Amino acid sequence: MKRNILITGGAGFIGSHVVRLFVNKYPDYNIVNLDKLTYAGNLENLKDIESAPNYAFVKADIADLDEMRRVVVEHKIDGIIHLAAESHVDRSIKDPFTFARTNVMGTLSLLQAAREYWESLPEKYDGKLFYHISTDEVYGALELTAPEGIESPFTTVASSEHHHAYGEDFFLETTKYDPHSPYSASKASSDHFVRAYHDTYGMPTVVTNCSNNYGPYQFPEKLIPLFINNIRHHKPLPVYGKGENVRDWLYVEDHARAIDLIFHKGKIAETYNIGGFNEWKNIDIIKVIIKTVDRLLGNPEGYSDELITYVTDRAGHDLRYAIDSRKLQRELGWEPSLQFEEGIERTVKWYLENQEWMDRITSGAYEQYYESMYAKR
């Protein structure tokens, strides 16, 4: 079946992995990658597929309703996978309005453009889908109770002592929303708009809430690539508070596989949680990164431990997130393919082998290149 799929935020970290998967796996689909190319969008992430016959790139702002209308109609879009978002919590604390504009108004513009176009067609919503990617942060925070010996119920991928749960509670699809940062508040609002468009207009929608992703092509303001790069340059590793905050980590390609599965097999109006069954305290993950980078760089063991620098904790810093994704496992058969140790090894190797990519990001050279390229058009 031929389809025209719009993937927003496709030049970003997770989006580029989803675009690559769809372009390579579905040659009969036309994949339109729409990205504003803000600081976190980088077309170098997609060099390997940029000339594919079923791939097109559109530079646009999702908050521009008229432009969204034009793109949806011009490309005859029948499916939208919406990943475009401002996503860095620290930035949201400094500039909440940008997050509201992109994450709330941008999602609303996309919904409205899709609704107007799809309702104008003879078949209307038949065969259409608006798939909205959200975050586990909308659920708020979980308690960090974790007496030693509590084991995670997620035994399918447990491979080390680090995979036990740090508490007995997990985020379910039915967990009440309780966002604590401007970022998570903006994502919660966008989730509500997506569900409202289903309930009010009958638009076919699905929402997924995912845990922390890691892997190649992640913008280096995020913990794992930032620390890999800082260790390489022997720069400080800033750790919030005591590093006790717990996060559930998922390899990005496993997330892309889940998105593919849910887009094709998920039930309309459902919510699916996507998690790595894989909780780690920040300080423990940092020690694994240090050990792995030092080994791969040929440094003596413990060489970079001195770089750990404890800094004042972030405002509203949630203590623990943990996703229960057994619904997705039970209903659609998905589970993570990589254990964390294997995923982090693969990730560290990629960043060390792609130092030119990292250097172009940290220097800002990639932004200057695209600014000049689009200024000429």
> Which residues have a catalytic role annotated?
136-137, 183
Whether the CB-CB separation of 68 and 113 falls below 8 Å is answered with: yes
Alpha-carbon span 277 to 153, nearest angstrom: 9
CA 309 vs CA 110, 245, 272, 284, 313: distances in Å = 42, 15, 37, 14, 12
Task: Taking the CA atoms of 125, 332, 7 and 94 in sequence, report the sign of the dihedral they define.
Answer: positive
Alpha-carbon span 99 to 92, nearest angstrom: 6
CA–centroid distance for 265 within its chain: 20
Q: What stretches of the chain adopt beta strand conformation (E)?
A: 3-8, 29-35, 55-59, 79-82, 129-135, 205-210, 212-214, 237-240, 246-251, 271-274, 279-281, 308-311
Alpha-carbon span 148 to 208, nearest angstrom: 31
Write down how long the chain is. Answer: 377
Give residues with Cβ within 8 angstroms of 28, minimum separation 6: 1, 2, 3, 54
Whether the CB-CB separation of 171 and 144 falls below 8 Å is answered with: no
